[in-house]
Amino acid sequence: MLLFFKDYKKFAIVFGVISIIIITLIYNTLNVYKPLPIYQPAMVSTELVDSTIQYQKKYHRVADFRLINQNGKTITQTDYQDKIYVADFFFTTCQTICPIMTDHMVHIQKKIMDDDEVMLLSHSVTPEIDSIAQLKYYAKSKGVNDKKWNLVTGDKKQIYDLARKSYLAVKDNEFGGKFDMIHTENFMLIDKKRQIRGFYDGTNPEEIDRLLDDIETLKKEYKN
């Protein structure tokens, strides 16, 4: 009888150790860190990408830029150096998807207000209408925090090139004037190396939640 319990005790110990190992393996499998993809032009719908880079499969980054924000300040890539940021394209007189997108950007702004690692950047697709004064009025009416979020205007060709050659975010307006574009609902998540790490429907609350989760995932990438 004593031998039985002795053997049972050994079995219980071995079984317990094996169980702990199995549970640990399952936990690590379920919680494995998965980095966000790095989007290249070839991975994006061709209607959003300039024909000159549609087949590019690596090395894509947001180009240098020089634009003017709602306060008349010149904004360049150095203002976003070593920052994660969310970018989009809009115009202040839009009455369709822009108000929804802006409201969702305001929501994101609230979530990142105390996070020095993250910023926002919105580009006007109608710079001929969206003057500095117009952007300032819009910013005030929407609750834009100048330290977290720049609404920018400037040279129309530069914005067009940024939209289609850097952010891969707008459609070409074939029936409009030169450098006219049809902006989309896309929000883009940009990493500290100026790479696109995610696309999100800026009109969809569930997509905004996914974006906020991806920001945290991207921050872990830099900690690792």
The yes-or-no verdict on residue 20 having pLDDT over 90 is: no
Any idea what the CATH number is for the domain that residue 158 is in?
A: 3.40.30.10
Assess whether 15 and 69 both reside in one domain: no
Assess whether 123 and 21 both reside in one domain: no
Assess whether 8 and 112 both reside in one domain: no
Min mean pLDDT across 46-50, 63-67, 126-130, 176-180 is at 176-180
Assess whether 83 and 13 both reside in one domain: no
Name the nearest CA neighbour of 195 among 90, 68, 83: 83
Assess whether 72 and 109 both reside in one domain: yes
Q: What's the domain range around 130?
A: 41-223
Assess whether 89 and 155 both reside in one domain: yes
Assess whether 84 and 168 both reside in one domain: yes
Q: Return the pLDDT at 224.
A: 75
b/e per residue 101-112 (b: at least 16 CB within 10 A): bbebbeebbeeb
**pTM recorded for the entire structure:** 0.85
Domain count, the chain: 2
Distance of CA 221 to the CA centre of its chain: 15
> Would you say 203 and 97 are in contact if contact means Cβ atoms under 8 Å apart?
yes
pLDDT digits (tens, 9 = 90+) for 106-139: 999 999 999 999 999 999 999 999 999 999 999 9
The yes-or-no verdict on residue 15 having pLDDT over 80 is: no
What residues pair up with 159 in beta bridges, in sequence order?
none
The yes-or-no verdict on residue 153 having pLDDT over 70 is: yes
pLDDT digits (tens, 9 = 90+) for 51-76: 999 999 999 999 999 999 999 999 99
Residue 121, CA atoms < 13 Å, CB-side half-sphere = 28
Strands (E), the chain: 66-68, 74-76, 84-90, 118-124, 149-152, 170-172, 181-183, 186-190, 196-201
Assess whether 20 and 66 both reside in one domain: no
Tell me whether residue 158 is exposed, middle or buried, using C-beta atoms within 10 angstroms of its C-beta: 0 to 12, 13 to 18, 19 or more.
middle
Q: Return the pLDDT at 177.
A: 76
pLDDT digits (tens, 9 = 90+) for 184-224: 999 999 999 999 999 999 999 999 999 999 999 999 999 87
The H or E element containing residue 220 is helix 205-223
Assess whether 17 and 57 both reside in one domain: no
